[in-house]
Structure 1
């Protein structure tokens, strides 16, 4: 029998309903719980969106020997693309990139970064298998069932180091600053239920 790991420290059993079809096949997360989970992430990320990294103790965020990067970089300024962008006949972005999967919380106008990744090839990274795609699908399904609107997008930052080692170092510093809930390094911080459903 599968071990159920549903982050019950945050999600009480009263708020999770299971169908008889089997464990984790049809999980319902209460709207109030989803909104509380989103609010915790907003509380952390909103000051960073508003002031960049200057006022949040991230002075060394952009250490790079090869590229001078803007210390007040804000991913909200990047062009949002639908998650299905990779199906378009012409690639919007190509080459090395750091990318951000985001959701705009409709009723508050706030944005949350759900995932940060890096790639050597922006036009190809999202085409294949990717854990984050499963988490996003689970997140979208849970929000839909709870009647919570999602406005998901992916944004590519192309002004990043071309060397993989430096780009990955930058990615890790961004993850440490924003603490996106779908990155493996930060899932435990937010007790993310959408990742538990598919593990």
Structure 2
């Protein structure tokens, strides 16, 4: 094992040997022209504006439990409490609960990603491709001095059974055509999912 020094501190391990921490490699800004970026966002925005959110009607005593389609229609994801996408770095009181989560750019607004988790406080602590997509998306805006406000929201009324939660996630991905979800890349030619 080779020792090396960093400043005044001597280390027994190289940085590559360290474990547990999530490291993000430096991201080169995604090279996309301002017109192409704005056009891409407008296409997503126009589609999502056509998607409606139907508030649940008052049920009767004999109403059947809501179906996956009913739930997908009733979630108004743009009104959920927002959190910084770096929330996972902060100390949390609990591991969280079964949830659906939504990554949204509130500047237009557009839904970028839909996900599900059994523990909302832990899902993003490890590797997650969407972290890279967000960094690429934000970095594409910076050279053009365009405003971008990407946040994450959790819907904690999600089914606790994994299969039911995944069905609801899939229905929402299909409904909104969220461009960072792999199922929808064919619609948007999403440039932010590639390695930079």
User: TM over 0.5, yes or no?
Assistant: yes
CA distance in 1, matches of 2:122, 2:153: 14
Aligned residues: 159
TM-score by length of 1: 0.73
Deviation larger for 131-140 or 71-80: 71-80
Say which of 45, 51, 55 aligns to 1:42: 45
The answer for the alignment partner of 1:63 in structure 2 is 67
Distance in structure 2 (CA, Å) of the matches to 1:98 and 1:172: 11
Deviations 1:42-93 (A, max 9, x none): 1011232xx3057xxxxxxx625xxx84843210111000011112223588
| TM-score, structure 2 normalization | 0.74
Partner Cα distance (1:152, 1:87) in 2: 16
Name the residue aligned to 2:158.
Answer: 160
Q: CA deviation at 1:40?
A: 0.3
Quick check: 1:100–1:113 contact (8 Å CA) kept in 2? Answer: yes
Q: Label 1:72 to 1:26 Cα distance change in 2 as closer, same or farther (>3 A).
A: closer
Q: Which has the larger radius of gyration?
A: 2
CA shift for structure 1 position 195: 1.3
CA change 1:42–1:128 in 2 (3 A) is: same
| Structure 2 residue runs without a partner (length 5+) | 1-26, 56-65
Unaligned 5+ residue runs, structure 1? 1-23, 55-61
